[in-house]
Structure 1
């Protein structure tokens, strides 16, 4: 082996090539990379050989000559030359070899396996990533029983495969992860299926970073905290989650040091109630154990969504005192809800147990249905012309849809030449859906058919202070009432499901309503899964403004076959966006928070810079107040009620100046927010609807908003923005909620989301 690396060959005339004879990239002369390679080459060991391979290849030598000079095989030369070419210096550095290391962090293996579930291929990928053998990874997966239902091997093991993360407690001396398990499974209580949505590596990485600063160094640790704080935390957890068995897993304890001589004693948290104590698995570090439990929880339970763990990350990063994080109740839907005697005595309405029997086999079928829906009636040739499908494909798809009862043929049209053409249209009675709208003042249930025709509507007043259990019972009773009322018109095989429209914000992944304005009693209510206990059919939950936009698009047909923004005037003003052929929901499915945009447009911010809740974005409150301020005498209606709002509308229709001025003021403020939408999205259609877009008030909103969005936009010379009333009735959100079922079933979308 030569004691120095030869200099690159020098030639005259043509400059040397940038790569060696085998295509190897040459290190730049005098570059830091070349300096590092020469430093490695002067040293000893494997790095010296690899560096010499690259330098000799860069000098123009072929693999055979390099192998002869360095006394290695040609395969070795080719390996390191290719690694240099693909990854540079990093490709030459020492890589972990497969095989069992000194210690294996089982929790890290479990986290990787949960984020990339699969068979042996996933295990091999995990082994390569972590530098372990495939056998080691497979053994960890068996130990945690990931294939058949996880079994967490704490000391003692957590019972059962259905494990939740319920809370975290940490002070300067100890940290505890609170887990929850369900009772022993019974024939009526099947283990939940794996969730379609997992927490994501980005959230787990944030959780891991937040955990790093959780345990203070010994020098920074204050005197030992009282164990009463932990006891109070566990007692609060037991009170909040009475139906779940709780388990406190000690992450660390400076007094006990995490030692495990025997099973730790349980914590007594009340009469007849204990929290069992557990120690970490022998092969898991505490930080990776927490992330593994989060990944396990999120892959088993849709309720354990990103939001839950983002809340935990925020709690861990909060300064001041011990960490005390408890999640909201998750036990409400774990066992079947008791049925009223009247319901238990007989079967539920047939449609309530319906399933989606309309199984569309291809994207092209949805394209054909969309063309028919937008046109009303259309011939096969026109479908082919509009969609770009061949005539043969359209004829085959149309025949299949006719045979399944989704399309019907209409009266023949006489053609100028050739045989008469037979148009097709949707068969309205082929499918039905139930829409539920939850408003702070009223519950609405509407059954509609595929054409958007309302089969029946039921309403019920709401007590905003009702307990969550009572409220859910009211929603269920109203839904069953509507289905029973429509039973004669809705065949079981054509009932597609239930759409639920709720005030935002809402966690779509878990179906949880997150503290809507004016409904504080329903904060963090897992509504979707509570309703699924009562209705064994597909259920979708959506923000009310987005649901209204979906209904507008579906029922508006060709009048809404373009981008538009729907302004929903309810108890609050929201917006729904229909862009590029689909609802725009945003990352968290909460797009359309119009009140924030309106506050910014009006310059209404608080001392902390946060946009204020502007009164103009709550029409039933602001319109009567503004009218009274201008001198309109109020009669009996309660201030801020629907009745008071409607009284102002009637006064405006009768010519009262104060009522008209109040409506114009509110409409102008809403128009300022609409102006932001127009400029931001470059749209030319705004649709107004909702329960407070009434016949008496409609002209004021239409005129004022139309003026603002056309007089003030930056690109006003390039477009004319149309402001139109909704095609939907006052039950816009309920009809829209039902339409979301049709939208999810029939609308052709390249980017789909498993919603039902």
Structure 2
């Protein structure tokens, strides 16, 4: 208020605005302010609202009619793309930037951001980018210049509405990092230096980009070039463009990032965080290229070779099971947990009225999701007819991709396995061959299930993969045991072969989803699932839902285990402890103890199973090796128990076999009950999974059911 009083003591427009605000703060109405100051009521109301919304800055900015001398069109576009939608968006942007509504509307029309515009936005660089989808593909920056690499694909249907996936924090960090790279003054080329060495490096960068992204047209947009004289534009690999006449370089950079982020779900925060990290590392030149986006393009591509036969059963059934309300999911969940249950019991458990339950049950019976069981005799009144889920009403395929074994299953709504197919693989297999084998195995399972799955009840394919994974784009980001899988766009590679809903889930989280779905009432509480595969992961089921975390990568158990064991590298990073890879560590530990079969076998899986048989047969060295690994895993589980305050740990996975199950259960039970801080308040149960050795594959299929049928107040995820 002191600043306002100082302004009010002066003269001019700013003094009038300050007096309006001071009088309004005293409770004076607009009509009285207008009379006292000799201004219109509209003027009084305008400055009062601007003070409330923008403070002192709002009073300093005066809206101007007509086009201002300079308008950063790209910044207008960035604000329009990232601001909440609605009819008032243009007016809000105009108020924020001190522009007229007409100016903002004209900019949006020029960039194709209106509802009646063409299929895709237009970027009016010089020359303009073609009217097609725009992706941010790369960035090059050296001591003289910065070049943003945009990619355009063939024009397709209008993109679906996408929620903004880049936050203000990431966009701000990008802007700050790029600003820090810009030279303060032009760089004068020495007389004895006939050419700019950066030109050759830029040409090499563009050639590398063209080789990595052959499916998109590349456009090099020069953000700035401070060399004197400017470098000649490179001709190879990309077309050359300058920023729009009425856009600043940083504004254009922000606009293209916003356009990419809001147009493509695949352009997740990870892509922009990668770019931020490349800029913040500094040094020159900065060379950043994103992964190939060929699989994300919506335009159809010509198939290579003869077309593949359509998978069976058909995916048209996804529309047959279309749940109309949250309450329907609540009823299905109650039936699923109970097995068989009467309508009256459903009403009692869910809190729904008898009339609502009867109406919903009748609808689900008509659609074949529920079936009626034999009538129960009642003590009074008419007999009651219980209902249960119809297992054959829906089926899903689960595909588990493991470094050593591919597994595909088809399960029904009750979790019964219709068929199973497996295929051994090597982690050194080329990613393209690996994916081709996974596709072939998925088709084999679907073909085997053809006679058991009705065509109108197939929901889709769930895929379980080792983490970390970018769920937004379906990209596997280089799992520790699959070094060749670097930023592999697995979801889109699979969608090319399976014309049906496909979802990807981290393997340990998929196993937890399957445990919850198939475990019914036995798993109707919070629990942590420890998945013993080629690596140990954890899946968390908390507060009635699968807990995925911010990036859908919750459950990285290896680092937690390393910290619990005090294993860190020279750089302070938690190590990859061998105990978190049972098929490798158990045989090694057994060999140290002189177990003959510990170091033999055709592979780590065979050696692990040999040691397991020896431990079950009474070999003390083999048993000690298994207990050593189980004890280390138990230390990690202890961290979960203390952190989450849970009382159930579930063990499962392909290496939780019958031979060694007792060792793991006993040792982990001992650790999580002897050492927790709150051990006097709870007893932690450690139980074997209800799933088979195909836990991740069954769980992957269950994620389809989980996404379709599980009630969620915050919105159900649909496959």
TM-score by length of 1: 0.89
User: Which residue, out of 689, 704, 714, partners 2:677?
Assistant: 714
Deviation track 1:581-630 (CA, whole Å, cap 9, x = no partner) reads 10000000000000010011111111111101011100001100111111
Give SS of 2:658's match.
Answer: coil
Tell me, in whole angstroms, the C-alpha distance in 2 between the residues paired with 1:531 and 1:64: 67
Query: In 2 relative to 1, CA 128–99 (structure 1 residues): closer, same or farther, beyond 3 Å?
Result: farther
Paired position in structure 2 for 1:200: 167
Paired position in structure 2 for 1:294: 257
1:234 deviates by: 1.1
1:337 deviates by: 6.9
Structure 1 range deviating more: 37-46 or 502-511? 37-46
Tell me, in whole angstroms, the C-alpha distance in 2 between the residues paired with 1:381 and 1:688: 36
Structure 1 range deviating more: 426-435 or 55-64? 55-64
Give SS of 2:181's match.
Answer: coil
Structure 1 range deviating more: 278-287 or 492-501? 278-287
User: Which residue, out of 108, 111, 121, partners 1:144?
Assistant: 111
Paired position in structure 1 for 2:147: 176
Matched, 1:331 2:299: no
The answer to whether the 8 Å contact 1:500/1:539 transfers is: yes
Structure 1 range deviating more: 156-165 or 171-180? 156-165
1:281 deviates by: 1.2
1:132 deviates by: 2.2
Query: In 2 relative to 1, CA 548–58 (structure 1 residues): closer, same or farther, beyond 3 Å?
Result: closer
Tell me, in whole angstroms, the C-alpha distance in 2 between the residues paired with 1:303 and 1:102: 38
Matched, 1:105 2:76: no
Paired position in structure 2 for 1:166: 137
Give SS of 2:573's match.
Answer: coil
User: Which residue, out of 260, 264, 267, partners 2:235?
Assistant: 267
Tell me, in whole angstroms, the C-alpha distance in 2 between the residues paired with 1:55 and 1:282: 43
Tell me, in whole angstroms, the C-alpha distance in 2 between the residues paired with 1:59 and 1:738: 65
Instruction: For 1:221-370, list aligned pairs within 5 A.
Output: 225-255=197-227, 267-268=235-236, 274-332=237-295, 334=297, 336=301, 338=303, 341=306, 344=308, 346-351=309-314, 355-370=318-333
Query: In 2 relative to 1, CA 647–60 (structure 1 residues): closer, same or farther, beyond 3 Å?
Result: closer
Tell me, in whole angstroms, the C-alpha distance in 2 between the residues paired with 1:446 and 1:57: 70
Query: In 2 relative to 1, CA 67–179 (structure 1 residues): closer, same or farther, beyond 3 Å?
Result: closer
Paired position in structure 2 for 1:620: 583
The answer to whether the 8 Å contact 1:501/1:541 transfers is: yes
The answer to whether the 8 Å contact 1:546/1:577 transfers is: yes
Query: In 2 relative to 1, CA 638–116 (structure 1 residues): closer, same or farther, beyond 3 Å?
Result: farther
Query: In 2 relative to 1, CA 47–138 (structure 1 residues): closer, same or farther, beyond 3 Å?
Result: closer
Structure 1 range deviating more: 125-134 or 474-483? 125-134
* Pairs aligned (count): 708
Deviation track 1:405-459 (CA, whole Å, cap 9, x = no partner) reads 0001101111111111110000000000000000000111100000000000111
Deviation track 1:658-715 (CA, whole Å, cap 9, x = no partner) reads 1110111100010000000001000000000000000000000000000111111111
Structure 1 range deviating more: 532-541 or 372-381? 532-541
User: Which residue, out of 147, 151, 176, partners 1:209?
Assistant: 176
Structure 1 range deviating more: 399-408 or 485-494? 485-494
Deviation track 1:468-487 (CA, whole Å, cap 9, x = no partner) reads 22222111111111111101
Give SS of 2:294's match.
Answer: coil
Tell me, in whole angstroms, the C-alpha distance in 1 between the residues paired with 2:158 and 2:500: 19
1:201 deviates by: 3.1
Paired position in structure 2 for 1:431: 394
1:135 deviates by: 2.3
1:317 deviates by: 0.7
Tell me, in whole angstroms, the C-alpha distance in 1 between the residues paired with 2:647 and 2:670: 13
Paired position in structure 2 for 1:14: none
Give SS of 2:112's match.
Answer: coil
Tell me, in whole angstroms, the C-alpha distance in 2 between the residues paired with 1:180 and 1:721: 54
Give SS of 1:702's match.
Answer: helix
Paired position in structure 2 for 1:485: 448
1:72 deviates by: 3.7
Tell me, in whole angstroms, the C-alpha distance in 2 between the residues paired with 1:258 and 1:405: 71
The answer to whether the 8 Å contact 1:356/1:497 transfers is: no
User: Which residue, out of 121, 132, 138, partners 2:88?
Assistant: 121
Structure 1 range deviating more: 719-728 or 129-138? 129-138
Matched, 1:134 2:101: yes
TM-score by length of 2: 0.93
Matched, 1:495 2:463: no
Give SS of 1:686's match.
Answer: strand
Q: Which has the larger radius of gyration?
A: 1
Tell me, in whole angstroms, the C-alpha distance in 1 between the residues paired with 2:323 and 2:23: 62
Tell me, in whole angstroms, the C-alpha distance in 2 between the residues paired with 1:126 and 1:435: 47
Query: In 2 relative to 1, CA 724–219 (structure 1 residues): closer, same or farther, beyond 3 Å?
Result: same
The answer to whether the 8 Å contact 2:588/2:598 transfers is: no
Tell me, in whole angstroms, the C-alpha distance in 1 between the residues paired with 2:647 and 2:57: 53
Give SS of 2:637's match.
Answer: helix
Q: RMSD in angstroms over aligned alpha carbons?
A: 2.5
1:99 deviates by: 4.1
Give SS of 2:208's match.
Answer: helix
Tell me, in whole angstroms, the C-alpha distance in 2 between the residues paired with 1:529 and 1:672: 38
Query: In 2 relative to 1, CA 453–284 (structure 1 residues): closer, same or farther, beyond 3 Å?
Result: same
